[in-house]
Structure 1
């Protein structure tokens, strides 16, 4: 390895919802690049003790993440030299304008703030007064302008940056998060089997992810002899054919075993951007039934890798599940196509490499500009 090609990169990663798993995948995959020295600043979402009683700080995630990011960055640069910064999401970057000016910075996001506002009711998120929303828009646009480059998880989010914030298309690269596909693939190929068809749902928040809607659909399908397996943090009253799993850890062997034993993956979510569980299901060779919302149609291709239904439509959900239950050949075909699709576009190790090449390119450009200026 040539010392001149060493890259010290600071990764400022929010630790909320599915971004925790994304951070773990990045940490695992970036370690494979010998030219990169990663320095991690993980920004926790929760507040404890005195901090949980400070007005605004305790209730505003942007303020909390921004202040925590700035403190982490001060500690980081006090210990090592930094060549570039990578922020995911934009939330910890919004109040870090000084750092964005100081270092070549890439900002990554799964949804723009305006898109998140559209999904807000399902995240217990409400828009503020008009003056505050205008301020938020200006701060986010400044963040997007100061970043050397922007990375979005989906084409949907890229279009949100272009339409909502006037970001030039050539400043944005779509790099989905995905999963380490080889780690989620089933040990043996799927085939016809005796016994009940198993439907799998994975979602911490049962209500937002459509778990209650799925239970309603399942009850109509129970006479077909199917089973419903729910991985969630919420409590579910016992009923025939329903199996509930609590405390499952991301990327764990027991969780992967549930994917491998299932026949259909169902996520009739009311509010999501690009759920990582859909990548896991596809890597495990499962056809998915989900909703036509945000970036989900980019990973669940309707009629090709699974089926999409309107949000909140229990009848459409029931019929989509019935179709896959009653058509095993189609079920297997969709699963094979899903596996191919996720291998091409959502492999986390490959996409981490794409991300690093983008960051390295910005560092190389900055170094060249410094040499010219000198």
Structure 2
């Protein structure tokens, strides 16, 4: 393909929570497409210095992300002839309707603002007064209307756009973020073994991700010969059979080794949209125990690739773990199915290609429309 046919795409990516890993995976995988020239605008979440003291700016992520995205886009278009913009999530796009109109724009999200409000208590997020919530709804709906296409991480989020904002179903494509499956696969197949059964938990916020509940469940089954391995930023007091890891970096070799050494992955989270650690666990061939929250049932298929329990239900969590601890053949069967499921639906490289096809399609359509006489 000659140079004039290249797709110059601006990627405006928020850098909050799990979206940091998503951005890194996109950067790693999009470079494999020779027809795409990506231009990256990474929008930081943190504030420092004077910015950390400015009213509204310091406390409102939508305002902060919108202004930072506007500055980044201004710099970006000075150095490149942009064909399209891709925003993830909608947060940097909401206050930039002029940029959405200026270029064919695709907006990606893991949850709608209304869905996020439902999960709000677990993210220290509170809804505002009614007038503010109405304004927020109108601004987000304008964003969704101006975008040429919308991409959601899950069917749950797609339904949220349709039901909560009236977005036509054919304007939305579901493309999960996923992981680079081949990089997370265990180097050797899993087999039955005689050592302790190792349960792995990965979550920075121990309480919100259900880590404290998991500790209680672990204590009830510790006598079965079980170890609990916790990857978290939070402090955990020393306890028999509990191993704690701080400072683990995303996609790092030491983190992958923990997945490969584990037998069960547990994430009894109270509030999440689609935790990327569940994709990592599946790619490592682990059966998962998680909760029926948001889009989690789409990746952890109850009774097929793992077990799902109600959020906060200690008895159900304990029983699910006991079941997998005492049934090694079921663990292995669930793990094999989890790997097959994530390979088909949550492979980051494959899904990056699907995402680029959506963006290219909008660019091609815009180019065709420009050639049609008025």
Same-fold call, TM cutoff 0.5:
yes
User: What's the TM-score, normalizing by structure 1?
Assistant: 0.99
Report the secondary structure of 1:27's partner residue.
helix
Query: C-alpha distance in 1, partners of 2:333/2:220?
Result: 25
Output the aligned Cα RMSD: 0.6
Q: Deviations over 1:229-287 (max 9, x none)?
A: 00000010000000000000000000000000000000000000000000000000000
Say which SS state the counterpart of residue 294 (structure 2) adopts: coil
Per-residue deviation, residues 138-183 of structure 1 (Å, max 9, x unmatched): 0000000000000000000000000000000000000000000000
Deviation at 1:372, TM superposition (A): 1.0
Q: Secondary structure at the match of 2:372?
A: helix
* Match in the other structure for 1:335: 335
Equivalent position SS for 2:317: helix
**Partner deviation per Cα, 1:14-72 (whole Å, 9 max, x = no partner):** 00000000000000000000000000000000000000000000000000000000010
In the TM superposition, what are the counterparts of 1:55-66 in structure 2 within 5 Å? 55-66=55-66
Distance 2:180 2:327 in 1: 29
| Deviations, residues 211-237 of structure 1 (Å, cap 9, x unaligned) | 000000000011111000000000100
Q: CA deviation at 1:5?
A: 2.3
5 Å matches for 1:109-124?
Answer: 109-124=109-124
SS of residue matched to 1:204: coil
CA distance in 1 between counterparts of 2:267 and 2:327 reads: 19
Q: How many residues align?
A: 374
Q: Which residue of 2 aligns with 1:320?
A: 320
Who is 1:358 aligned against?
358
Segments of 4+ moved more than 4 angstroms: none
1:29 aligns with 2:29: yes
| Other-structure match for 1:97 | 97
What is the CA-CA distance between 1:79 and the residue it aligns to?
Answer: 1.2
Give the distance between the partners of 1:373 and 1:347, measured in 2 at CA: 42
Q: What is the CA distance between 1:80 and its match in structure 2?
A: 1.1
Give the match for residue 297 of structure 1. Answer: 297
| Residue in 2 that maps onto 1:267 | 267
Q: Give the distance between the partners of 1:371 and 1:36, measured in 2 at CA.
A: 22
Report matched runs for 1:1-374 at 5 Å.
1-373=1-373
Alpha-carbon offset, residue 131 of structure 1: 0.3
Q: Report the 3-state secondary structure (helix = DSSP H, G, I; strand = E; otherwise coil) of the residue aligned with 1:281.
A: helix
CA distance in 1, matches of 2:203, 2:168: 35
State the distance in 2 between where 1:371 and 1:219 align: 68
* Alpha-carbon shift at residue 95 of structure 1 (Å): 0.4
Separation in 2, partners of 1:5, 1:274 = 35
TM-score (norm 2): 0.99
For 2:200 and 2:300, locate their aligned partners in 1 and report how far apart those are by CA, in whole Å.
16
**Partner SS for 2:289:** strand
Shift of 1:8: 0.3
Where do 5+ consecutive residues of structure 2 fail to align? none
- In structure 1, how many angstroms separate the alpha carbons of the residues matched to 2:191 and 2:220? 26
Q: Deviations over 1:285-314 (max 9, x none)?
A: 000000001000000000000000001001
Q: Which runs of 5+ in 1 are unaligned?
A: none
